[in-house]
Amino acid sequence: MKRQLATICLMTAFSIGLTSPSVHAQDPDGLRGIRIVYVLVEDVPEGAKKLGLTAETIQNDVELKLLLAGMGVATLNDGHNLPGRPHVYVRFTLTKGAEAASIQVELDQDAVLDRNAEHAPSVITWYTGYLLPNPTAQSIRDYIKSGVGAFLNTWLSVNSKK
């Protein structure tokens, strides 16, 4: 019974999530003036390793896409010293049997709250996410690159390419 309920919930999420990516916090002005970021890829789940995916592969894919678009990329150590610490954060999860994957690509940065001028570390200022049925290593990589591309389109809308 529990397995059947879990399957129904998962299929409902897929039917909602597969029709379009979810996109939140898309005020492009929050990306204005960012010229360099660092990339942070969350540890890949065990199932991803079985598919042949590593955090290093994802990191390289994301950094290359950013560089090709004209975005500077800092190392993790140098990135912590950037004003506002802007970083592209990539996370994906897989179901135990790799029947489905969830992918999130976001731009996080430090912010200051208007109401009290308090410092707010690592605020999500741009986000997109995808749900994939029956993912492969290549489809996961492609969707992550698509998410980075969507971010870059928003970023380029408020920053001239130099």
Per cent of the chain over pLDDT 70 is 83
Please state, as a whole number, how many other Cβ atoms lie within 10 Å of the Cβ of residue 31: 22
pLDDT digits (tens, 9 = 90+) for 105-157: 999 999 998 899 999 999 999 999 999 999 999 999 999 999 999 999 999 99
Which secondary-structure segment (H or E) carries 124? Answer: strand 119-133
Per-residue pLDDT at 23 exceeds 50: no
Domain boundaries, the chain: 20-158
Mean pLDDT, rounded, of the chain: 87
Question: Are the beta carbons of 151 and 56 closer than 8 angstroms?
Answer: no
Q: What is the pLDDT of residue 160?
A: 79
Question: Are the beta carbons of 114 and 30 closer than 8 angstroms?
Answer: no
CATH number of 20-158: 3.30.160
pTM of whole model > 0.85? no
Per-residue pLDDT at 46 exceeds 80: yes
Provide the residue type at 68 as one letter.
L
Nearest to 122 by CA among 80, 147, 86: 86
